[in-house]
A and B are shown apart, each in its own frame.
Chain A
């Protein structure tokens, strides 16, 4: 009887140890997966050995652009999927970003030039939003709207772009642009102010020219 109790106790101990080890292993693997996702999903600057120029390399290039559904300035939900079949430039910007305001007139010109070929730009504001304070939120939306008006932006401006930080590989620097082809794949990415020519070349790439 005593021996049976001892064996039963040992079995229970073993089973609980296995259960703990399984849980510990699951937690470890989850953390490792999160770490891997965080490292893989980050873009980086790679210096070209011959020219010495730094080029932004995004892990999203060649992959489907992560879908999203964000509100525009009128409160209407706009998703990337709405633009299926079109070439889309996803441009992250902010009201406080001076280089963003320099490139915006180039974007507007290029958008008007290539719209007829099935090209559109989505301007995703990465401005912080006080979602818990209705008055502040309304003011922040107004500020984004005013800036968009000042810049004569004709394309949809979506708010809360910062919420896509993880899926788009970190938005630690602005402006940041992703060029999506008609099949929904990212064909090029840009970080920082580049040039109108480079943007145009990427737009052509997204259109399949």
Chain B
């Protein structure tokens, strides 16, 4: 019996050594050299609108310094337009969206080619229809960001808004 106990102790010690110290560490995350978020939703986090009536809500976004994103109406057909959407089944509907006009922008290496972009802060006027009640909406903003020399792939970020229909 004493020998069995000894065996179990030895096995437990060996097992403890076998279990790696870093077991359970989180995996690596992908990163962009340009770093950070290209676009952030600023506000509002919560809006109260008349139930059942299409109401304009001003959504404020910020583009990271040094970056630009295409406006909703880029000049080249292959450039990705910035677009706001509310997925089906979100509880509220997007009746319409009015986008700001893009600013003219030229890359230093090609001063004759004008791009239509958003930089710094921009505001999308979203016409939202919500039934009575509280709706936690996960809307989306699709965009494609660049700096003067390189571009990041198109991206969709969540736009979380608490919409209260009264």
Hey, which bits of chain A sit against chain B, CB under 8 A? 3, 6-7, 10-11, 13-14, 17-18, 21-22, 24-25, 28-29, 31-32, 34-35, 38-39, 42-45, 56, 94-100, 102, 126, 128, 143, 147, 170-175, 191-194
Given known A-B contacts A28-B20, A45-B33, A173-B33, A39 and B149 have beta carbons under 8 A apart = no
* Count of residues in B whose CB is under 8 Å from the partner chain: 40
Which of B15, B25, B144, B151 gathers most chain A CB within 10 Å? B151
Distance of A110 Cα from B15 Cα, bound (Å): 62
Decide yes or no whether B76 CB sits under 8 A from chain A. Answer: yes
- Is A21 a contact partner of B19 (Cβ separation < 8 A)? yes
Residue in chain A with minimal CB distance to B151: A97
Hey, which bits of chain B sit against chain A, CB under 8 A? 1, 3-4, 7-8, 11-12, 14-15, 18-20, 22-23, 25, 27-28, 30-34, 76, 78-80, 107, 109-110, 113, 115, 144, 146, 148-154
Question: How many A-B pairs fall under 8 Å by CB?
Answer: 117
Given known A-B contacts A42-B31, A193-B107, A21 and B149 have beta carbons under 8 A apart = no
Given known A-B contacts A13-B8, A143-B78, A32 and B109 have beta carbons under 8 A apart = no
- Is A172 a contact partner of B152 (Cβ separation < 8 A)? yes
- Is B151 a contact partner of A21 (Cβ separation < 8 A)? no
Name the B residues within 8 Å of A128 (CB-CB): 153-154
19 contacts between A and B (CB under 8 A): A7-B7, A10-B7, A14-B7, A17-B11, A18-B11, A18-B14, A18-B18, A25-B18, A25-B20, A29-B20, A34-B27, A39-B28, A44-B33, A94-B153, A96-B151, A97-B146, A126-B153, A172-B153, A174-B151
Name the B residues within 8 Å of A28 (CB-CB): 20, 22-23
